[in-house]
Chain A
Amino acid sequence: MSSLLPQLIINGILLGGIYSLISIGLTLIFGVVRIVNFAHGEFLMLSLYAAFWLKSLAGLDPYPSLLLVVPLLFLAGLIAHRLVIQPILEAPSYMQIFATVGLSVAMQNLALFFWKADFRTVESFCSHSALQIGTLVAAAPKLIAFGASALATIFLHFFLQRTYLGRAIRAVVQDREASQLMGIDIYRIYLFTFGLGTACVGLAGGLMAPIYAIFPTVGVYFVLTAFVVVVLGGLGSLPGAFLGGLIIGVVESLAGFFISPQLKEAVYFVIFLAVLIARPSGLLGQMGAEEL
């Protein structure tokens, strides 16, 4: 019992790292393009299937195949943005929601049609290894996923702070009109950021492939979790998404054990509603960001 709580917390943190990475993509897209992308989970699903097919057709282990999966998802994001999002940028927000919901439904069912509903799994060379310190255990794929997520977050942070493109992105988040006056092509920024967001999710998917089952509606579960994380951390805030991810991961892990595995989703939905009600700007978000 004494090592149970630390183990649960470790599990939660490792899980949280993945949630963070998925949510970072979502919060970037929201902060810049100001669209709530309901199809975000489907890009995750896409990357999971990509990892699966690369393994089953080309024998590529999920980690090396990341080199293909991430650019692939970046491209998919560009295409989706150009075809679906860009035409509706000026539409009222409730119409935009419909469009991304439509995209989500279409993608899920295309996957269902092409690849059927069977659960797929991907094995990696390290699927069965684990790191053990004392009585605490951490499965290797989960450790790698956490580590890679943390690295990706740090890399993204420096990208946004230090590079010109990163600064341009942050400028657009702050003020679109002023950015345009400074010579920033905001439509290119939207396009790029959308791709960047889906690339993050692509990375998350590739890392998750050895851990989770793969099926057409796998994205639905994760996207709702991602929304909870993003709102908790504060829309548009990268550190917020990371922190939020860790918190939700730990909450889920603890709730799954102490309350019930079936109710753990309900627990963080309740947290979600509580955050939306009490502090909609989230932990680290700008106050008033929720007023679109």
Chain B
Amino acid sequence: MRQKGIFFPDLHLGLLLSGAAALAALLVRNEFLTNLVIWIFFYASLGLSWNLIGGFAGQLSLGHAAFYGLGAYTSTLLFQNLGLSPWIGLIAGGVVAVLFALAIGLPCFRLRGPFFTLSTIAAAEVLRILAIYFQDFTGGSVGIQINVAPSFSHFVFGDRSSYLLVAWILMLVSFLVSLGIERSRLGYCLIALREDPDAAEALGIDTAGAKMRALMVSAFLSAVAGVFYAQMVHFIEPYSEFSLENSIQFAMIPMVGGMGTSIGPVIGSFVLTPLQELVRAWLGGRYLGLHWVVYGLALILVVIFMPRGIVGLLRRGRPARAGATWSQPSCSPLAGQAEKEDGAGRPVPPGLASPPGEVLLVCRGLTMDFGGLVALSGVDLEVRRGEIVGLIGPNGAGKTTLFNLISGFLSPTAGTIRFRGEEIAGLSPPHLVCRRGVGRTFQLVKPFGNMTVLDNVMVGAFCREKDPARARREASRILSFTGLEEKSSLPARSLTVADRKRLEMARALATGPDLLLLDEVIAGLNPVEAEEIEGMVRSLREQGITVLFIEHVMQSVMRLSDRLVILHHGEKIMEGTPAEVARDPRVIQAYLGEEYVLASS
């Protein structure tokens, strides 16, 4: 296996670029250049902090000016009224921003897409209006001027070079935080939930919690940048702090540079900020507003022609994660062993402590009424440890609904679901069910297209592992088990249907489930592929995993199942061994058809 060692291209590039710029400004001693570099670092840091929630998590906020402004106002007001040094005010501003993030994030993260964006705009606007209204406190539209002698404790400097150094540190901190998150479990979870939130939940990711953590860090960093701005410009007022235009600017930087990577916002700022100054110098003076026209058009063009930003253009065809192109995992010596006792540090799952044959899942009287359409009616189901149970029935029988109920995506209208003795009916969000040991795949496969195959499975492994290195080892072990080892570094979207189904299974397996719900993993495959998957499913039993699977491919169903449960119009019409089921007249009438009976007898 190749070992790329400790070469981190993104980190080195960021350090190099910013170091060169800072050095140039300090040596050349030209005021315009120094200012330019300060703004480059400033916007890079804002872009990086926005990117945490906008790029990694895919939650487009156009209200980040709220955090930025809260930082500026908090520290300035503390300084003005209490004489508190802005260095401490910086922390205070960050905390205030984080609290605000908690307040709006908790309710608003339930919203998807444009609704979330609209709510962020509304939040920032409310702050702007309040800042104007409470003018006795905030100085209102007139704003606050910072008139104080330069000194370190005042966070006011006489020469630009000091501001340059502070800006550089600010940018580096944001950059390192972003890189740290990108490579950590949180980073994988954020990207996964951006790609497919349902799949992420089914893999045990607390999507709401992950988004909240990212937003809090983002809010803190944006607030700190806001404080820096106040201390450099010496003047704050509601419009320049909380305006929508600010929020748009913060978002444009990573958008042009490349959302979802740490180096993207840095490059974005290095490209956009000088452009901005140039355009403003050229047009802004005489032709008021024209530079904004250029921005607006640039936004449109970027969306149409380079949606992945500059970094996306440069990395065309390669997977989006830096983590996949370095430090390939070494072959796991543990593949093929009794997996539950591997030396990678995984604790022995609690399931094996129970005796085999023990009842794992019990559904009683399960009913799902969609306000008119009764998808399931009084279904009883039992699955014992070590079984492979097939769930079959005509289309519309309620099979996937049953899976959705068990895995926590739906809450039953009536009935109970007990898993390992614990009541899980209505347990929501779904990641809670996954964490208790229920894994599932989806009928329409949901790969995280922009992540590599390995990273996809790692996301599943993160359900049990916190450490990325161990998660990676676990993921490669599972990949060799499912025969996808050679495709580890390919982007998931380039896989064939058969491989996608394998990936879906691998991902669910990585969460270490006791019960695995497989939804039509064989449908659509050719007979050779089908046999391979059948073999895999059979060997799951040896690993201590119980399987409940939905399938339409009758040969596979008959060969794999210990027991079959047949649903029809939401009711269980029969249960038994494959042989019993094949002979039962009710089943034949509803589902199998006369020809099957004739052929098998």
Contact = CB atoms under 8 A, between A and B. Distances in A.
A102 B129 contact: no
A262 B135 CA distance: 12
Interface stretch (B92-100, B296-304, B325-333): B296-304
Nearest to B296: A106
Interface string A162-186: 0000000000000000000000000
B115 A99 contact: no
B126 A266 contact: yes
* Main secondary structure on B side of the interface with A: helix
Nearest to A262: B133
A258 interface: no
Contact of A231 (B104, B118, B297): B118
A220 B297 CA distance: 18
A101 B248 contact: yes
Contacts of A92: 58
Contacts of A1: none
B357 interface: no
Interface string A216-228: 1000100010011
Contact of A108 (B255, B287, B292, B298): B292
A253 interface: no
Contacts of B58: 92, 94
B122 A224 contact: yes
B107 A98 contact: no
Contacts of A265: 125, 129
Contacts of B217: none
A279 to B, nearest CB: 11
Contact of A109 (B62, B104, B115, B290): B290
**Size bracket, chain B contacts:** 35 or more
Interface centre among B245, B251, B295, B304 (most CB of A within 10 A): B304
Contacts of B121: 224
B130 interface: yes
A102 B299 contact: yes
A287 to B, nearest CB: 9
Interface in A61-84: 84
B209 interface: no
Contact of A110 (B123, B293, B298): B293
B110 interface: yes
A200 B133 CA distance: 34
B595 to A, nearest CB: 31
B243 to A, nearest CB: 10
Given A105-B292, A231-B118, A98 B133 contact: no
Interface string B105-130: 00110111111011101110110011
Contacts of B298: 102
Interface string A134-175: 000000000000000000000000000000000000000000
B122 A109 contact: no
Contact of B303 (A98, A110, A227, A276): A98
B323 interface: no
Nearest to A277: B107
Nearest to B247: A101
B288 A269 contact: no
Nearest to A96: B303
B396 interface: no
* Residue with the highest number of chain A CB atoms closer than 10 Å, among B122, B130, B291, B297: B122
Contacts of B117: 36, 94, 97
A262 B304 contact: no
28 contacts: A36-B114, A36-B117, A91-B303, A93-B114, A94-B54, A101-B296, A102-B297, A102-B303, A103-B300, A105-B245, A106-B292, A106-B293, A106-B295, A109-B292, A109-B293, A113-B287, A224-B122, A228-B122, A266-B125, A269-B123, A270-B126, A272-B122, A273-B108, A276-B108, A277-B107, A290-B111, A292-B113, A292-B114
Given A94-B113, A266-B130, 17 more contacts: A93-B113, A95-B303, A97-B62, A103-B300, A105-B245, A106-B293, A106-B297, A106-B300, A109-B291, A109-B292, A112-B288, A260-B133, A263-B133, A266-B133, A276-B115, A280-B115, A292-B114
Interface of A: 36, 84, 87-88, 91-99, 101-110, 112-113, 116-117, 216, 220, 224, 227-228, 231, 260, 262-263, 265-266, 269-270, 272-273, 276-277, 280, 290-292
Interface of B: 54, 58, 60, 62, 104, 107-108, 110-115, 117-119, 121-123, 125-126, 129-130, 132-133, 244-245, 248, 251, 255, 287-293, 295-300, 302-304, 307
